[in-house]
Every structure is written in structure tokens, then in C-alpha cells.
């Protein structure tokens, strides 16, 4: 009886320690940011399983559920099939996992890569737990992991420079996840991956249960319950083997410089607001245009006192408008016109020292100073400011990731823990 290998992985979110947006160049905004992979309780679970094409009953089981996407349109081998199992809120063609699969297959076809000897089909099962529109990069993490895993499973064995090239085409956050998950090498780091061997009977049973019940949580819980299947990243020894979890990111996300610092553990505060990244960037452009008209565009703030005064004015104005809007029962999840909050005097600091540790940066600057998209997002989704105020009362200082909507705060830091001993 044949044994099957299931590759289990956790797709962790990223946090923007700071995010500085520069003037638009063409259709894109160059950025400068510190990305940090947030190890913790929030992550997507992913499982990759190959199976022999001769076992038609596996195909029959998988194709019997309309919720499961069958992807074989662009496969080099028409007998191979790729099944994607998960609860996604987008069309298949927009799914970054699908796009990563297409990118690899298309590149292989262009290069004349021969993988016909691998007569196997593939099923990818995803338990999505990172919210969409949260600024945490869950879809980008899924894409990067898919590139790395399929590169090995499909027998392409492309080097990191080729994978990075493909990652850039998929999205601005994907290169960071690729670099961190591979730790700069061609393969995914063992820290993030656990490979499980099960016999054919058990495999068939698990797939059958998954299809019949369509309970993805239950599928992954089967592996959590067994002590021998503990993921490697749950042990202290493996944590010490990671070289870096953060990087300074610039350009349009394609320039990644690993940053070596102590691991910081964060609380991630999610909410039910889904921010539209394009709309937040459009609002950023509006505020910059209005600022240029009223006081002239400035690339830096001359005085720390002026920074504090500007931040205070912004916060007071937003709070005042939020109270007014809430008194009118405006839906906090619905974008609102920028004229309701702030249309002028929107200044941003353009330089933050890239050599500072993440914890030092977070301690030194305010939420408005750290993330240029925070106030534009508040303009569109007025519930964000109320959430930030509430969280700040409990956690003292909270921060904003990406274009939103998630906030985060510091839970602990290895450096702080060592200093307290």
C-alpha cells in the first residue's frame, strides 16, 4: 500500500512597523517600510498533497464537491489535475494561490522545462484565518508559500532569483514572504514546514471526510491532535535557527534587505472592517494634493514639536468628526467622503532611521507618524479611529498595519526579556 506525504505549513501575517509612501511614479507609489513576520496564534494553514494519477477514485472524490476548484487549464500535462480546497472570497482567477501556480507553469512552458516524468496530481487545502482587507498580507503569504512548495513538488527546482522574479509579478508583498520563508535560499525553511507520511487508506479516508463534510478546520485538527505531528516551529530549538523575520522593503516592494534583530511578539487586533487598498491609496493622493495646494508639499518635518502639534490636531479633528458622524448613525464599515474628516494640512514624515530595531521605532513614533496610510484609511472608514482609541486605552500604544484594517501592539520582545533578568 502506497504512502502519501502531506506538507503542512503555516502562513503567518506580516506587520508594517512603519510604512512611508512616496510621490507616485507612473501608476505606483514607491514605499519605504519595515516588514515583520508575526509569529503567533494568527495564521493560515496550508496542506499540499500529491497523488498518483492512476488512482481515479481520488479524482472522483475531489470532483464530487462543487466547492472545490479543479485547475488543469494550463497544466503541461492534461492528465495532471490541481485541486484547490478552501473558502475564498474571490474568483479563482483572482486567487493568488492560483496565480502562483499559473506563474510557475507558464514560466516552465516558456523555458521548455520537462516535468512529464512526474505523473502526479496535486491538491492544496487552505484554512483561511487571516482576514481579507486587514493589511496583514495573508494572500501574499499563501502565494509565496505556493511558489516555494510547488517549485519542489512539480520538479522545477528554480533558484531563488527566478522565484523572486515571479513573486514580484504576483504582488508587492509577495517577495518579502518569499525571502523570509526561504531565509534567502531556494527552498522553504524547515522551520515553517512539517512533512507527514500516511498510508493510502488513511489518506483516502481524510480526503473523503473533507469532501463529504467540507470542514477544513476538522481536516487540520487531525494533525494537531497527534504529538508526533507537532509543527517544528513550536519548539524553541527551531526558533533559534531562523536568521531573520524582518526586512527593510523599498521600491514597489521588490527591494528586500533582511534586517537582523531580536524577535518581537505582537498582539494582532483584527476587526470586521475590510479596507480597500486602492481606495486608501486614492485617498492618500487626495490628501497630498490638498496639502500641496494649502501649505506646499514638504518631504520632512523640521521640528519634533511641530510633528506633535500636527499629530494632535489631526487626532482631535478626526475624533470630533467621528463623534458627529456616529451621532448620525453612519455605518462605520462604509467608506465616507474625505471632506467629512480631513482635507488639508496632511503632512507626513518621509524619513525613519532604517538601522533602528523595530521596537525602538515603535517606541519613538506615533501611529500617524509611522504609517502614512492610517489617516487616509480613517477618512474612508471612520470606525477605525474609534477602534484605535478603544485599543489604546487597554494596550497604551497601538499601531496600524499596511492599508488596514488591523492594529497591533507589542506583546513581548526577546531583548526586553533578557534585560529584565
**Structural domains in the chain, sorted by start:** 3-248 (3.30.230.10), 262-420 (no CATH)
* pLDDT tens, residue by residue, 10-24: 999 999 999 999 988
- Can you give the pLDDT at residue 213? 79
* Concatenated DSSP letters of 116-184: TT--EEEEEEEE--SPTTSSS-HHHHHHHHHHHHHHHHTT----HHHHHHHHHHH-TTHHHHHHHHHTT
Q: Residues 32, 371: contact at Cβ < 8 Å?
A: no
pLDDT of residue 251: 96
Catalytic residue among 14, 81, 128, 206: 14
DSSP tag of 88 = -
Estimate to the nearest angstrom the gap between the alpha carbon of 260 and the chain centroid.
20
State the pTM of this model.
Answer: 0.83
The answer to whether 14 is a known catalytic residue is: yes
Q: Which helix (H) or strand (E) holds 70?
A: strand 69-71
The residues of the chain scoring below 70 in pLDDT are 1, 52-59, 61, 70-80, 114-119, 225-240, 291-347, 349-350, 414-421
Query: Is 302 in the active site?
Result: no
Q: Which of 52, 47, 51 is nearest to 6 (CA)?
A: 47
d(CA 351, CA 333): 32
For every residue of 100-120, which 3-state class applies, written as one string? HHHHHHHHHHHHCCCCCCCCE
- Count of CB atoms situated within 10 Å of the CB of 185: 12
Instruction: Tell me the CA distances in angstroms from 57 to 50, 52, 64, 208, 215, one per residue in order.
Output: 14, 11, 11, 10, 20
Question: Which residue among 44, 69, 173, 357 is the active-site one?
Answer: 173
pLDDT tens by residue, 148-190: 999 998 889 999 999 999 999 999 999 999 999 999 898 999 9
Amino acid at each position: 500500500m502506497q504512502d502519501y506525504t502531506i506538507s503542512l505549513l503555516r502562513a503567518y501575517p506580516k506587520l508594517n512597523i512603519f510604512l512611508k509612501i512616496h510621490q507616485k511614479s507612473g501608476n505606483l507609489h514607491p514605499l519605504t517600510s519595515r516588514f515583520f513576520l508575526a509569529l503567533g496564534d494568527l495564521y493560515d494553514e496550508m496542506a499540499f498533497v500529491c497523488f498518483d494519477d492512476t488512482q481515479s477514485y481520488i479524482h472522483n472524490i475531489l470532483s464530487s464537491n462543487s466547492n472545490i476548484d479543479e485547475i488543469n487549464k494550463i497544466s503541461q500535462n492534461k492528465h495532471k489535475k490541481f485541486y484547490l480546497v478552501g473558502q475564498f472570497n474571490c474568483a479563482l482567477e483572482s486567487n493568488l494561490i492560483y496565480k502562483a501556480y499559473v506563474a510557475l507553469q507558464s514560466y516552465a512552458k516558456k523555458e521548455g522545462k520537462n516535468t512529464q516524468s512526474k505523473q502526479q496530481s496535486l491538491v492544496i487545502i487552505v484554512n483561511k484565518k487571516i482576514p481579507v482587507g486587514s493589511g496583514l498580507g495573508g494572500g501574499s503569504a499563501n502565494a509565496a508559500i505556493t511558489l516555494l512548495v510547488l517549485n519542489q513538488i512539480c520538479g522545477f527546482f528554480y533558484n531563488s532569483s527566478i522565484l523572486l522574479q515571479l513573486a514580484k509579478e504576483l504582488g508587492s508583498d509577495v517577495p518579502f514572504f518569499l525571502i523570509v520563508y526561504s531565509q534567502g535560499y531556494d527552498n522553504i525553511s524547515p522551520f515553517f514546514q512539517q512533512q507527514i507520511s500516511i498510508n493510502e487508506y488513511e489518506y483516502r479516508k481524510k480526503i473523503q471526510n473533507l469532501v463529504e463534510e467540507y470542514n477544513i478546520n476538522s481536516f487540520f485538527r487531525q494533525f494537531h491532535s497527534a504529538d508526533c505531528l507537532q509543527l517544528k516551529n513550536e519548539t524553541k530549538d527551531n526558533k533559534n535557527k531562523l536568521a531573520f523575520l524582518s526586512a527593510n522593503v523599498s521600491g514597489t516592494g521588490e527591494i528586500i534587505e533582511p534586517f537582523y534583530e531580536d524577535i518581537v511578539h505582537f498582539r494582532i487586533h483584527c476587526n470586521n472592517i475590510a479596507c480597500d487598498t486602492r481606495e486608501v491609496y486614492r485617498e492618500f493622493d487626495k490628501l497630498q494634493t490638498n496639502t500641496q495646494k494649502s501649505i506646499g508639499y514638504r518631504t520632512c518635518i523640521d521640528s519634533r514639536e511641530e510633528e506633535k502639534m500636527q499629530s494632535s490636531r489631526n487626532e482631535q479633528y478626526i475624533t470630533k468628526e467621528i463623534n458627529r458622524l456616529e451621532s448620525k448613525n453612519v455605518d462605520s464599515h462604509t467608506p465616507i467622503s474625505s471632506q467629512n474628516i480631513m482635507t488639508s494640512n496632511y503632512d507626513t514624515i518621509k524619513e525613519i532611521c532604517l538601522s533602528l530595531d523595530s521596537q525602538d521605532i515603535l517606541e519613538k513614533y506615533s501611529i500617524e507618524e509611522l504609517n502614512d496610510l492610517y489617516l487616509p484609511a480613517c477618512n474612508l472608514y471612520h470606525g477605525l479611529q474609534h477602534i484605535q482609541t478603544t485599543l489604546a486605552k487597554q494596550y497604551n500604544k497601538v499601531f496600524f498595519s499596511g492599508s488596514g484594517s488591523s492594529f497591533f501592539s507589542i506583546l513581548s520582545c526577546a531583548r526586553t526579556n533578557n534585560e529584565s533578568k
